[in-house]
Amino acid sequence: MSLIRLLVPFSLALLSACATQPKHNVTVEKLSQCPVQLTNGQNLILNLPSNPSTGYRWAIQDSAGGVLKALGPEVYRNPEDAGIVGAAGVSTWRFQAFAAGTGRLRLTYQQPWAPEVPPVETFDCAISVN
């Protein structure tokens, strides 16, 4: 077998391996990173500043359910270097794109026992899945 016949399949395999694939995880930490475009199967990780010790919590109002599915509940973590009880931390949600289309990921930051009071903060992000 000639050297050319061996190099052609090897070269094609290398080229296909080098083709750029979208990152499997897309992380969003602020509204300025929206809108978000995902491909089917990609994960969206949403990190928002939070301080449940004040009584305020993020509540999902719209989860873009037609295009995203939750991969678990909210996870809250406090930065290890804070060293202060009641210091602010980060709330994290994980979603996976499962269908082509568009949706909105909307959350409000408010005290759950006072729904009539307007939220202190809102997060409203357009999501599109190809």
Tens digit of each residue's pLDDT (9 = 90 or more) over 60-76: 999 999 999 999 999 99
Mean pLDDT computed over 21-26? 77
Query: Token pair of 109, please?
Result: 């930051």
**Does pLDDT of 13 surpass 90?**
no
pLDDT score for 123: 98
pLDDT score for 79: 73
Q: Over pLDDT 70: what percentage of the chain?
A: 79
**Does pLDDT of 94 surpass 70?**
yes
Sequence-distant (6+) residues with CB within 8 A of 64 are: 95, 103, 104, 105, 127
**Does pLDDT of 58 surpass 60?**
yes
27 to 3, 16, 23, 48, 127: CA distances (angstroms): 45, 26, 10, 11, 13
